C-alpha cells in the first residue's frame, strides 16, 4: 500500500470559519509533510513532522496549525484564512528523509 | 542554497516520439534526484529517482540520467502515449536538509495524437 489519503478533496470556507484537513498513511513512514501548491507552480513546503514531532515550520502564518496525533495521521487546522490562501494543499510521507516521498491527491481549498 | 533549473517549461511531442526534460542543480553535494508527474487535479506521483552514485536508471519507457560533473540530470520518455501528458517536476535534496525537496519549475508535456 503506497497510498496517502487526504480528506476532504474539496473545501470552500469563509474567512471566519475554522476547518481541518486530514491526511493518513499506513506505510510506516516516520516523516509527514504539508505542502501548498498554487496553479502552475511546484509545491511549497509548509511543515514537516518527524517521528510525530514538528521538525520544520517554513515560517507559515499562525492561521495554519498542524497536528500529528500519531505516526499515521496528520492534520492541518485552518482558521481566519485569507482569499490568497486558496490553493491545493498536499500531504506527503516518507520513510525518514524526503527520499521516495509519496503524495496524496490533495485538498482543493477555496477561501471566500 | 540549492537551486534547480528545469527546461523546457512546455514540451509538445508527437505520440510515439521521445521526450526529454532537463534539470540543472547548483549544490554539488546534492545526492538524490526524483522526478514527479502531476496530472490535472491530482497530487504529484513519484515516477523515477536516481542517487548520486548511479549514472542512469531505467523503468520501462522512462529513464533518468545523471551527470555529476556538469550537475545536470534528465528525464527521458520513449514511445510517448497520450497518458504521458502531464506536468513533470524534477527535484533534489540538498545536503543541508534531509526533508527539503528543492523543486524545478515544472514542464508541461503535451502529447499530440
Q: What tens-digit pLDDT sequence spans chain B (113 residues)?
A: 889 999 999 999 999 999 999 999 999 999 999 999 999 999 999 999 999 888 999 999 999 999 999 999 999 999 999 999 999 999 999 888 889 999 999 999 999 99
Q: Please count the other Cβ atoms lying within 10 Å of the Cβ belonging to residue B46.
A: 18
Residue of A nearest to B10 (CA): A40
Return the higher-pLDDT residue of A1 and B5: B5
Distance from CA of A47 to the nearest CA of B (A): 10
Name residue, grid cell 554539488: B28
Nearest in space to B102 (alpha carbons), one of B79, B60, B63, B73: B73
Nearest in space to B23 (alpha carbons), one of B100, B85, B90, B87: B90
Nearest in space to A21 (alpha carbons), one of A50, A64, A82: A64
Share of chain A above pLDDT 90, in %: 95
Question: Which pLDDT tens digit goes with each residue over A24-59?
Answer: 999 999 999 999 999 999 999 999 999 999 999 999
**A104–B93 C-beta distance less than 8 A:** no
Query: How far is C-alpha B18 from the chain's CA centre?
Result: 14
The DSSP letter of residue A96 is S
The DSSP letter of residue B2 is -
Q: How far apart are CA B6 and CA B24, in angstroms?
A: 7
Q: How far apart are CA A18 and CA A13, in angstroms?
A: 8
Query: Can you give the pLDDT at residue B95?
Result: 82
Backbone phi, then psi, for A84, in 5-degree steps?
Answer: -70, -10
**Is the per-residue pLDDT at A1 higher than 90?**
no
Distance from CA of B26 to the nearest CA of A (A): 18
- Residues of B whose CB is below 8 A from A55: 99
**B46–A102 C-beta distance less than 8 A:** yes
Amino acid at each position: 500500500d503506497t497510498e496517502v489519503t487526504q480528506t476532504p478533496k474539496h473545501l470552500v470556507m469563509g474567512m471566519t470559519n475554522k476547518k481541518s484537513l486530514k491526511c493518513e498513511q499506513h506505510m510506516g513512514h516516520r516523516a509527514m509533510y504539508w505542502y501548498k501548491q498554487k496553479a502552475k507552480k511546484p509545491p511549497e513546503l509548509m511543515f514537516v513532522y518527524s517521528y510525530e514531532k514538528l521538525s520544520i515550520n517554513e515560517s507559515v502564518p499562525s492561521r495554519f496549525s498542524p497536528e500529528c496525533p500519531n505516526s499515521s495521521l496528520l492534520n492541518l487546522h485552518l482558521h481566519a484564512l485569507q482569499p490568497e490562501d486558496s490553493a491545493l494543499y498536499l500531504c506527503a510521507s516518507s520513510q525518514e528523509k524526503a527520499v521516495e516521498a509519496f503524495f496524496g491527491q490533495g485538498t482543493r481549498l477555496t477561501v471566500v | 542554497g540549492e537551486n534547480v533549473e528545469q527546461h523546457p517549461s512546455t514540451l509538445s511531442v508527437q505520440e510515439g516520439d521521445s521526450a526529454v526534460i532537463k534539470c540543472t542543480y547548483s549544490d554539488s553535494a546534492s545526492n538524490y534526484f526524483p522526478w514527479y508527474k502531476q496530472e490535472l487535479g491530482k497530487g504529484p506521483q513519484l515516477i523515477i529517482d536516481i542517487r548520486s552514485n548511479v549514472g542512469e536508471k531505467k523503468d520501462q519507457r522512462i529513464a533518468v540520467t545523471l551527470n555529476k560533473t556538469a550537475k545536470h540530470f534528465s528525464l527521458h520518455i520513449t514511445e510517448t502515449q497520450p497518458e504521458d501528458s502531464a506536468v513533470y517536476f524534477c527535484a533534489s535534496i540538498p545536503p543541508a536538509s534531509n526533508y527539503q525537496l528543492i523543486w524545478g519549475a515544472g514542464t508541461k508535456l503535451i502529447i499530440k495524437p
